[in-house]
């Protein structure tokens, strides 16, 4: 017969610490603590498999469960020498949730179960404390009514307050037994009124009600949301822990506390925690009374404290990680109620991992495995001051969107890029709010503190550009009604006008009204140590996506080993070194687009050439000795010409042409589906002169730098290739120009020519393309878009439903953020295998946004790519994930050998 329930108590446990998937973290922890001889109250755990069964079978329990639970209650009664509902010496239990991954506060708990009108008398008699017994009873009735029967918490709290004011007392501790007795009766009457039934009497019925409530809370809205946000997937469900109650509120020789084996904020090796005398656990959590620090507890209860300190050492040694423990002292006796791996700040995560490795408690490889990619991300960005009151923060929410780039930003709202530049020029801090952004907006985006768009997903223009700069960005804030004409935006009944302050939380994707205080975390020393350990172990290279010398330098500081993608078109509108020249560049590209003849186009491109060359010189210098992959023009041309009448007129005036010609050209360029239109290398096929200018700029810059003693390794990359013959035309044109320039210069310069793989056809025919291409770089933004047939710019509207377990729940994560390894990944695998079959030394990388996502990087390692190329701020994440992938592989091999 299948076993559903696991017992622990009296020094023995049926479960084990490793069985977290089956018993949940709490259940496994209690079993393990029992096994290693720590003082733990007895109890049993109903496994997560029951939760799984429950939801797969129309919310029914396995047929044998009732019998098994009843048997375990009997066993618990034997061990504790008490009986559930006994009017003389009643057994009281707590019923708590606990899944394999900690979800604090997300699921339900019932305490003091076992009390009814008769057994409460028994409790009063055995503890010789009426007040305590009736307080426990009212807590139970209150919890049962709200948690199990869904009655309003506020309703009951209100009655509690009314009772206290009737008695003229302020603190709960001052309420006499008669007050609690009165309140229990009142609660029960309310219960009957609301449910039409009397309050149940039998503790066994209570137990089943509580078990049902815990299993039910697994699918409660907040729990589902928490799992989505924390990317918790693949769990069977929650377990239910039924544990003998111990009381911290029986007098001044009792108490309850929560502690961490190290400081969870700094990671320092000090015992850290709070203790409340004469209190129950919920009092600590609720924060009603101010607890004392553990150092004070050491003075008040030295013996118990010494025991606790001993438990701290045992637990850290045993679990080899920082623990978060809950304990209760009942009449001078210590009980550990829970231990789990403690949550910590990112800075603490680094310090604890490095310290523990240095203390030889864990290996360096384990230390590397302990860091989550988000820990790194959060180290660099400012955040909204965590000390801020949560309630007032909540009242300031204007809208929520997709958290494209983390960090926080404060500024005055402007609604167009031009204003952003003007205001910033005056020294104002601005937040740029747009329905969406396009290359035209880049100047304004660059000067803004943060960016918000009403549409778009994680690979929309705004998200990609902002990520490159590590600039706080929220996209797809669909509820924002942006009124460009009247310079204001509305959402949720609030209006924010131009010039008013807003604060962005890019990590959570929330826009707040007002200017909130920000704090920037300090980079811990342990960060450098741990990343060095990671670099020593990874085999996958890490490059960066950078379009400017500044970004390139930043990326190098973050540890980039080259550039995997320079998006050249990002330089068409903005001059990052001489901003006043931005306009000139812009006009040159626009003149080229508006030109009717090849000659006129060449003339316009000749104006752009020196700008591009200067940019490349800057980037090559910054990347001295490292490879730089430069991609030729990619977006459809309509993105570079204005669509508003006033701007079209201005352009016509500047170029001294008829505005009608501008309008006509813009109309001509219009495409129903520009993402699948005239873009990528198709542009160079139609306008070879663009390719000629760009290759010339790259090679001339490379020659100039080589002459100056800089080591340049250029890789020229063609985007969106779909066919061998198409690629051949581009490849030949590229080499003709490059070889000619190099020959004339007399310098020795080696360069590569290759392609992005961004279309399923290119991946499928990779074997043919690799006959000519020297390298592949997977552009997984477009490859995801084209494989899935989902627009990267529009899918943000419905994709959240696809990753929401409560809605469609089709994907575990947004496929534009975390690689769809099953579908898109299959094409990548195929492409790499075929490509390398043709050309064994084919260099393979990835430059889509996925290269900054931990799980995706691990997948790239498995595919034996040469490198991943991520935005500068994500480079450390890629370094860490690459090391973790190498370590995981090593462990897997070792496991298989065994
Ligand atoms: C891609 O498609 O993955 C890519 C890197 O190119 P872009 O985002 O510029 O289209
Ligand atoms: Mg692309």
Instruction: Summarize pLDDT for 655-687 with one digit per residue, the tens.
Output: 999 999 999 999 999 999 999 999 999 999 999
Position 1 confidence tier, pLDDT thresholds 50, 70, 90: confident
Q: What is the pLDDT of residue 283?
A: 65
Distance 451 CA to ligand 2 centre (A): 22
Burial class (CB in 10 A: 0-12, 13-18, 19+), 489: buried
132 has a pLDDT exceeding 80:
yes
Task: Give me the pLDDT at residue 79, please.
Answer: 94
pLDDT tens for residues 700-737? Answer: 999 999 999 999 999 999 999 999 999 999 999 999 99
Which residue owns the Cα nearest ligand 1 atom 4?
779
pLDDT at residue 159 greater than cutoff 60: yes
Give the burial class of 159: count Cβ atoms within 10 A of its Cβ; 0-12 exposed, 13-18 middle, 19 or more buried. Answer: middle
If one counts every other C-beta atom within 10 angstroms of the C-beta of residue 512, the result is 22
787 close to ligand 1 (CB < 6 Angstrom): no
| Cβ pair 629, 778 in contact under 8 A | no
Best substitution site from 719, 754, 874 to test ligand 1's pocket, by max atoms within 8 Å of Cβ? 719
- 């498999």: which residue's tokens? 49
Q: How far is the CA of 316 from the centre of ligand 2 (A)?
A: 48
Residues 552-557: what's their mean pLDDT?
A: 95
Indicate whether 290 pLDDT > 80: no
Structure confidence by residue, pLDDT tens digits, 199-247? 999 999 999 999 999 999 999 887 887 787 777 888 999 999 999 999 9
Catalytic residue among 461, 570, 718, 850: 461
Q: Best mutation site among 543, 683, 721, 848 for ligand 1, i.e. most ligand atoms within 8 A of its Cβ?
A: 848
| pLDDT number for residue 800 | 85
Number of H helices, E strands in the chain: 35, 34
Q: How far apart are CA 563 and CA 542, in angstroms?
A: 9
Between CA 538 and CA 687 the distance in angstroms is: 42
Determine whether 597 is exposed, middle or buried from the number of CB atoms within 10 Å of its CB (0-12, 13-18, 19+). exposed
What separation in Å is there between the alpha carbon of 566 and the centre of ligand 1? Answer: 11
- CB of 564 within 6 A of ligand 1: the answer is no
Residues 274-300 as b/e (b if ≥16 CB within 10 A, e otherwise) read bbbbbbbbebbeeeeeebbebeebbee
The pLDDT of residue 285 is 54
Q: pLDDT by residue (tens digit) across 599-632?
A: 999 999 999 999 999 999 999 999 999 999 999 9
Looking at the predicted structure, is the pLDDT value of residue 90 above 60? yes
Question: pLDDT confidence of 286, banded at 50, 70, 90?
Answer: low
pLDDT of residue 170: 85
**Mean of the per-residue pLDDT values of the chain:** 93
Q: Evaluate the CA torsion angle 305, 308, 313, 314 in order and state its sign.
A: positive
Angle between helices 875-897 and 525-537 (to 10 degrees): 50
Instruction: Write the CB contacts of 217 (distance below 8 Å, at least 6 apart in sequence).
Output: 97, 106, 107, 108, 223, 238
- The reply to whether ligand 1 has any atom less than 6 angstroms from the CB of 780 is yes
**Active site (annotated) includes residue 570:** no
What average pLDDT score do residues 159-186 get? Answer: 91
Region of 499 please: left (phi>0), alpha (psi -120 to 50) or beta.
left
The pLDDT score that the predictor gives to residue 387 is: 87
What is the band of 389 on the pLDDT scale with cuts at 50, 70, 90?
confident
pLDDT of residue 223: 83
């Amino acid at each position: 017969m299948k076993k559903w329930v696991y017992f622990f108590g009296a020094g023995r446990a049926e479960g084990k610490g490793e069985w977290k998937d089956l018993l949940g973290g709490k259940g496994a922890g209690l079993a393990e603590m029992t096994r290693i001889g720590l003082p733990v109250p007895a109890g049993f755990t109903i496994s997560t498999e029951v939760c799984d069964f429950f939801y797969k079978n129309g919310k029914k329990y396995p047929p044998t469960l009732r019998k098994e639970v009843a048997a375990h209650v009997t066993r618990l009664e034997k061990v504790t020498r008490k009986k559930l509902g006994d009017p003389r010496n009643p057994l009281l239990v707590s019923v708590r949730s606990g899944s394999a991954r900690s979800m604090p506060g997300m699921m339900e708990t019932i305490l003091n179960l076992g009390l009814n009108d008769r057994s409460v008398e028994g409790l009063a008699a055995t503890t010789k404390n009426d007040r305590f017994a009736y307080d426990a009873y009212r807590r139970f009735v209150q919890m049962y009514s709200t948690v199990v029967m869904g009655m309003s918490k506020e309703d009951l709290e209100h009655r509690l307050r009314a009772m206290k004011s009737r008695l003229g007392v302020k603190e709960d501790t001052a309420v006499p037994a008669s007050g609690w007795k009165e309140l229990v009766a009142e609660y029960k009457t309310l219960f009957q009124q609301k449910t039409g039934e009397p309050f149940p009497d039998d503790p066994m019925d209570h137990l089943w009600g509580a078990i049902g409530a815990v299993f039910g809370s697994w699918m409660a809205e907040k729990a589902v949301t928490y799992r989505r946000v924390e990317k918790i997937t693949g769990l069977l469900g929650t377990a239910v822990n039924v544990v003998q109650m111990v009381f911290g509120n029986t007098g001044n020789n009792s108490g309850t506390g929560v502690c961490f084996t190290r400081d969870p904020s700094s990671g320092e090796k000090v015992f850290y925690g709070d203790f409340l005398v004469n209190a129950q656990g919920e009092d600590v959590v609720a924060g009603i009374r101010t607890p004392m620090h553990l150092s004070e507890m050491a003075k008040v209860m030295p013996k118990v404290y010494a025991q606790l300190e001993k438990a701290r050492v045992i637990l850290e040694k045993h679990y080899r990680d920082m623990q978060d423990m809950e304990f209760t002292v009942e009449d001078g006796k210590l009980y550990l109620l829970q231990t789990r791996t403690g949550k910590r700040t990112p800075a603490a995560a680094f310090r604890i991992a490095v310290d523990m490795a240095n203390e030889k408690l864990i290996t360096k490889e384990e230390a590397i495995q302990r860091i989550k990619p988000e820990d790194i991300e959060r180290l660099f960005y400012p955040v909204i001051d965590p000390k801020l009151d949560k309630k007032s923060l909540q009242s300031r929410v204007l809208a929520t969107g997709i958290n494209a780039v983390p960090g926080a930003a404060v500024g005055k709202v402007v609604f167009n890029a031009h204003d952003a530049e003007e205001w910033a020029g005056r020294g104002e801090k601005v937040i740029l709010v747009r329905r969406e952004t396009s290359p035209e907006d880049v100047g304004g985006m660059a000067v803004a503190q943060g960016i918000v768009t009403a549409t778009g997903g994680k690979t929309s223009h705004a998200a990609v550009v902002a990520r490159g700069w590590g600039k706080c960005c929220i996209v797809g804030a669909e509820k924002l009604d942006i009124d460009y004409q009247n310079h204001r935006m509305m959402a949720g009944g609030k209006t924010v006008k131009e010039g008013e302050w807003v604060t962005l939380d890019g990590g959570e994707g929330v826009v707040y009204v007002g200017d909130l205080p920000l704090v920037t975390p300090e980079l811990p020393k342990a960060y450098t140590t741990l990343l060095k350990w990671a670099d020593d172990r990874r085999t996958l290279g890490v490059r960066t996506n950078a379009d400017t010398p500044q970004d390139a330098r930043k990326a190098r500081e973050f540890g980039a080993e080259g550039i995997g993608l320079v998006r050249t078109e990002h330089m068409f509108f903005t001059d990052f070194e001489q901003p006043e020249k931005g306009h000139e560049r812009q006009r040159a590209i626009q003149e080229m687009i508006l030109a009717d003849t090849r000659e006129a186009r060449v003339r316009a491109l000749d104006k752009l050439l020196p700008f591009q060359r200067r940019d490349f010189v800057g980037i090559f210098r910054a990347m001295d000795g490292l490879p730089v992959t430069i991609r030729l023009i990619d977006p459809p041309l309509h993105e570079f010409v204005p669509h508003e009448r006033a701007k079209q007129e201005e352009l016509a005036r500047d170029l001294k042409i008829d505005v009608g010609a501008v309008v006509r050209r813009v109309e001509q360029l219009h495409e129903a589906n520009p993402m699948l239109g005239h873009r990528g290398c198709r542009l160079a096929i139609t306008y070879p002169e663009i390719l000629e200018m760009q290759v010339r700029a790259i090679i001339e810059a490379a020659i100039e730098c080589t002459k100056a003693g800089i080591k340049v390794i250029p890789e020229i990359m063609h985007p969106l290739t779909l066919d061998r013959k198409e690629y051949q035309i581009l490849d030949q044109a590229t080499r003709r120009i490059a070889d000619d320039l190099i020959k004339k210069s007399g310098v020795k310069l080696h360069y590569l020519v290759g392609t992005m793989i961004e279309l399923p056809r290119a991946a499928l025919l990779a074997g043919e393309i690799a006959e000519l291409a020297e390298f592949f770089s997977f552009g997984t933004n477009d490859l995801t878009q084209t494989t899935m047939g989902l627009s990267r710019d529009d899918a943000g509207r419905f994709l959240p439903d696809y990753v929401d377990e409560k809605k469609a729940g089709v994907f575990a994560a947004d496929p534009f953020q975390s690689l769809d390894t099953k579908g898109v990944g299959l094409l990548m695998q195929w492409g790499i295998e075929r490509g390398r079959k043709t050309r064994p030394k084919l260099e393979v990388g990835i430059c889509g946004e996925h290269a900054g996502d931990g799980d995706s990087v691990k997948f790239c390692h498995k595919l034996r790519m040469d490198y991943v190329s991520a935005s500068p701020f994500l480079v450390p994440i890629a370094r860490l994930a690459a090391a973790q992938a190498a370590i995981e592989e090593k462990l897997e091999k070792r496991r298989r050998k065994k």
